[in-house]
Structure 1
Amino acid sequence: MVSKPALEFLLFYKPKYREWQNVDNSQITNKDYFNYIGAIVDLILVEINNDIGNRIPDLLDNFSSYNVEQQKNIISYLFEVKINLIDIDSRDKILEKLREILSRHREFPEEDWSWPEPLLDQLEKVYSLYLYNDVIEDNKYLFNDYWPNIINPVESYRNDYDIKEKLILQKRISSVENVYEKYGVDGIVKLSESCLYPGLVGEICSKSAISDLVQQLALDALEEKSNNEFATSFISELARQDNDMAIELIDKNWSSNKKVHYLLCIPISEKVIEIVDKLDLEGKILFWNNVKYYRVIGDKIDLACEIANKLLGYGRPLTAIHSISHLFRKREHSSKIDSRLIGAILVDIATKPNNEGHLLQNIRYEILEAIKFVQSYGDFAENEIIIIEWFFLKMFRNERIKPINLINKVKNEPSFFTQLVIWVTKRNDNKHDAVEDISEDIKKNRAENVYDLLKAVNIIPGQQDKKDTDVNIDILREWIAKSREGLEKNGRLGIGDIYIGNYLSKSPLGDDNIWPHNSVRKIIETIKSKDFENGLVTGMLNSRGATWRDLYDGGAQEVNLAKQYYEDANALQLIFPRTANVLRSIARSYEGYAKMEDQDIELS
């Protein structure tokens, strides 16, 4: 039953921010507040045995809200509880909450919120009272969390991360040594089976003075499901300390399966590969399908290439590219890496099903670096690199790395551009294209690639490269003539002109600093195609991208752009009248955009 002060508090505490609530000028005093809190504490203490595992941690969580007398009552209660009647789960919750409080307040003793040491000493005595007095049960918390709470931690203000890490390591080592001293190997097994991270027990055992004494336990557990985490972590730490010594532990009489499970715990090396090569086929497949420690430390390029080649051969191209990708970062490695191997890995990634459990996007960076390497240093024919770039076109989106060989193919081969347009458009001459014996999914992916490629193209026919501000009119004229001829033969001249216009909208500025280049202007005036001109307008408008503006700027940016395009149109009117009309169309579009932006401001 709630006490009278608490009931009075609840009666006069009403919502403050509701128009419909009656005005009440009652003031809540500190005395009222603490009476209310005291009533809640009394009620919890009365009902605490109904859910002791949650209610004691709740009391401790709010300990600083209580007055001194209430805190004394709670601590007294904690000392008086019949601990043996508390179930294990509840007892573990209480111990964890006490560790959390003691650790946090002692780690930051200078903070205003930190509790005084006499109070913490009292809580530490409570903590000691609730312990199991069993070396396994009282220490397994050290292996239930990678950063466990320690009741006597180092002070964060005076010590760094490394000292805290060393303290936890010392406590863990001491705990496994004490467990072994009392219970032997059986105690280590019980500890690893009862904690959340048995692998952590194995690692610590390998670092401790009992390493040699529990080594056989780890070797015997290699092929067991129950203690496998313990065994793999023990051996991995052993190999980290001395890899050669770890390899020497391999017994020639072991089964192929056990050898593989052991080798999977060890960083890969020439010796490891040599042992694997001597295994039967089943052992080789098991190893190369499961190896995780495949990255070579240092600049052992030949070894890295051999590992990548093995992984590729056993159907793991994604892992293969990841295993060797770190070598792409140093230019001096370029001549030593087998570029044909990198190309083969990329082709397998693109053409074969992904059965590795990796998401392609997770190694996007590594794949792009591999493509960049192949583009720069690969011993490939141009068509081979083009195929690789085509496979990975989607990965080039919003990246600095570009499909440069595909871009040059579009620029230099009008027949290729024509084919791209054919793949994404329909005929308009009442004829039909030849039926392709490919799935709809392939057609869809191909169309997406076409759009990605045409968006990525950043130079036009007649330009040498992106930095070249000149456009050779003869090359451009010939490219357009052949493209239009091919498009007309395939019933796509009108829509094709739109695509050509979109493409040529990427033209550089002319000599007068006005877009488009003089060579493109001459083409506009020559072919007199409204579709082509519409494509130029659309392409130029779409090239603007996203914009940023102040909240109430409205269409000011668009107004300025429209003004500039009108001025450019007037400058070109006499010599290039159709080009001037293209510029005016762009200006009118920006005027429309400006009105929409202004309307948004008026409505907001």
Structure 2
Amino acid sequence: MPDYVDRCAAAVSEEKVVPLLTSAPFDRATWAVVDSFDSDVRTAYWRELPPNWNRDEDDLLVGVTHLLKAIRPRAAFRLAHFSMKKLPPLVLFDLLAAIARGSDETANTYQLDRHGLREAFRRLNESADVKTDAMAGLEFAFIDIFDDGEARPENLEKEIARNPELFVQAVGFAFKRSDDNEDSSELRLDDSNQKSNRARSAYKLVDVIALIPGRKDDGTIDSADSVRWIEQARAGYATIAREDVGDQMLGKLLSHAPADDDGVWPCLPVRDTLEKVMTEHIGRGLHTALFNSRGVTWRGSGGDQERERATGYARGAEAMQYTHPRVAAVHRDMERTYLCHVEREDTDAKANRRLIR
């Protein structure tokens, strides 16, 4: 076959040689023929080639490398989609980084899917060949794939849990100042599209992270470390006039704390933390996040579902009313919210029953 391709390529006109070569088998034998031509033909081949699946590991690496040089990272990812295990981790990292930078590929071609991208991140995390901070940057570039709870930006969460300034920066990017002053140069962007895209990504970041500051490798949470992180974060976003919204995002983050051994939310270290740092807007963030995290709802008899949740929060308030009164107040607030919904659902159920009769 390579001799046949070689003879055919030598026989056709210059304008037909690239279409001929891109129609030939997608393997090193064809690429050897491609390499016998000048740089214009070689460049045109890799820019126009529709990459096909190849079983050979060496062929895969060569194909991905050339497609990256041709600034076609999405095509390279499609080529590697079913064979990511064959790619060296650092090559896979470079491939994702190239996708994040953008490409010369035609719009709506070689579309990326969440499953494939998540698999790539899983492979990179398992390899441990890429540093955490580099992986964190890559996760931020692909923050959209983490917004449904099916996967976590693990490295980004770890970096933020180590450095509250990253949380402050994200709050600064995502939200506007609460006063009329101007931000420093670090937060400003002149390009409105870039500014909008950065704000959207930063908002998704503070919306999806769930690693509680102060959490250790064994899963326990050090309340003193949590308090120190929170105090640094609050001081940081206060200086950029985002104190209220920053506290709300902080409340949302702390809402991800696990329940304690007694089944009451949150666990004791986070109760201790909240008792020291609670503000009005942290409470608002907690309330909104807890209500939104109630998951799939079902409709029983009137407000039975809401009544059950109200009872659970009442139980939590009673368990903490003397030891952690600020956290107990959050539970009471949640109880009142659900009791309002109980009344509404009971009223609707009675009205429906009357209509049925």
**Shorter-chain TM-score above 0.5:** yes
Where do residues 156-235 of structure 1 align in structure 2 (5 Å cutoff)? none
Match in the other structure for 2:199 = 447
Where do residues 44-123 of structure 1 align in structure 2 (5 Å cutoff)? none
Change (3 A) 1:589 1:409: same
TM-fit CA distance, 1:269 = 1.2
TM-fit CA distance, 1:543 = 1.6
Match in the other structure for 1:462 = 214
Match in the other structure for 2:334 = 586
Match in the other structure for 2:250 = 500
Q: 1:397 aligns with which of 147, 162, 177?
A: 147
Query: What letter matches 1:432 in structure 2?
Result: E
Q: Matched residue of 1:461: which SS?
A: coil
Match in the other structure for 1:348 = 98
Match in the other structure for 1:273 = 31
Distance (whole Å) between structure 1 residues aligned to residue 126 and residue 100 of structure 2:
20
Change (3 A) 1:548 1:245: farther
Q: Is the 8 A contact 1:573 1:580 kept in 2?
A: yes
Q: Is the 8 A contact 1:289 1:316 kept in 2?
A: yes
Return structure 1 stretches of 4+ with deviation > 6 angstroms. Answer: none
Query: What letter matches 2:274 in structure 1?
Result: I
Unaligned 5+ runs, structure 1 = 1-242
Distance (whole Å) between structure 2 residues aligned to residue 378 and residue 576 of structure 1:
41
Distance (whole Å) between structure 2 residues aligned to residue 293 and residue 431 of structure 1:
52
Q: Matched residue of 1:526: which SS?
A: helix
Query: What letter matches 2:93 in structure 1?
Result: G
Q: 2:311 aligns with which of 544, 563, 566?
A: 563
Percent identity over paired residues: 27
Match in the other structure for 1:318 = 74
Q: Is the 8 A contact 2:234 2:243 kept in 1?
A: yes
2:354 counterpart of 1:598: no
Q: Matched residue of 1:344: which SS?
A: helix
Deviation per CA, 1:181-215: give whole Å up to 9, x if none. xxxxxxxxxxxxxxxxxxxxxxxxxxxxxxxxxxx
Distance (whole Å) between structure 1 residues aligned to residue 114 and residue 263 of structure 2:
39
2:226 counterpart of 1:476: yes
Change (3 A) 1:542 1:583: same
Query: What letter matches 1:541 in structure 2?
Result: F
TM-fit CA distance, 1:361 = 4.6
- How many aligned residue pairs are there? 350
Distance (whole Å) between structure 1 residues aligned to residue 109 and residue 48 of structure 2:
17
Q: Is the 8 A contact 1:555 1:596 kept in 2?
A: yes
Deviation per CA, 1:14-38: give whole Å up to 9, x if none. xxxxxxxxxxxxxxxxxxxxxxxxx
Distance (whole Å) between structure 1 residues aligned to residue 329 and residue 148 of structure 2:
32
Q: Is the 8 A contact 2:74 2:111 kept in 1?
A: no
Distance (whole Å) between structure 1 residues aligned to residue 82 and residue 227 of structure 2:
45
Q: Is the 8 A contact 1:325 1:369 kept in 2?
A: no
Q: Is the 8 A contact 2:227 2:277 kept in 1?
A: no
Change (3 A) 1:585 1:251: closer
Query: What letter matches 1:584 in structure 2?
Result: R
Change (3 A) 1:399 1:570: closer
Unaligned 5+ runs, structure 2 = 353-357
* Greater RCO structure (CA 8 Å; 6+ sep): 2
2:184 counterpart of 1:438: no
Q: 1:262 aligns with which of 20, 31, 36?
A: 20
TM-fit CA distance, 1:530 = 2.0
TM-fit CA distance, 1:362 = 4.6
Distance (whole Å) between structure 2 residues aligned to residue 345 and residue 351 of structure 1:
10
Distance (whole Å) between structure 1 residues aligned to residue 190 and residue 347 of structure 2:
49
Q: Matched residue of 2:81: which SS?
A: helix
Change (3 A) 1:251 1:346: closer
Q: Matched residue of 1:326: which SS?
A: coil
Deviation per CA, 1:483-520: give whole Å up to 9, x if none. 12212222333332222111111111123321112122
Q: 2:125 aligns with which of 375, 381, 388?
A: 375
Query: What letter matches 1:416 in structure 2?
Result: L
Structure (1 or 2) with the larger CA radius of gyration: 1
Match in the other structure for 2:168 = 418
Change (3 A) 1:360 1:367: farther
User: Normalising by structure 2, what TM-score?
Assistant: 0.88
2:323 counterpart of 1:547: no
Q: Is the 8 A contact 2:132 2:159 kept in 1?
A: no
Q: Matched residue of 1:250: which SS?
A: helix
TM-fit CA distance, 1:251 = 5.5
Distance (whole Å) between structure 2 residues aligned to residue 396 and residue 360 of structure 1:
21
Query: What letter matches 1:579 in structure 2?
Result: V
Change (3 A) 1:410 1:290: same
Match in the other structure for 1:294 = 52
Deviation per CA, 1:400-428: give whole Å up to 9, x if none. 33211111122221111111112223334
Match in the other structure for 2:60 = 304
Q: Is the 8 A contact 1:418 1:483 kept in 2?
A: yes
Deviation per CA, 1:44-97: give whole Å up to 9, x if none. xxxxxxxxxxxxxxxxxxxxxxxxxxxxxxxxxxxxxxxxxxxxxxxxxxxxxx
User: Normalising by structure 1, what TM-score?
Assistant: 0.54
Query: What letter matches 2:64 in structure 1?
Result: A
Q: Is the 8 A contact 1:257 1:283 kept in 2?
A: no
Q: Matched residue of 2:144: which SS?
A: helix
Change (3 A) 1:537 1:363: closer
Q: Is the 8 A contact 1:407 1:453 kept in 2?
A: no
Match in the other structure for 2:355 = none
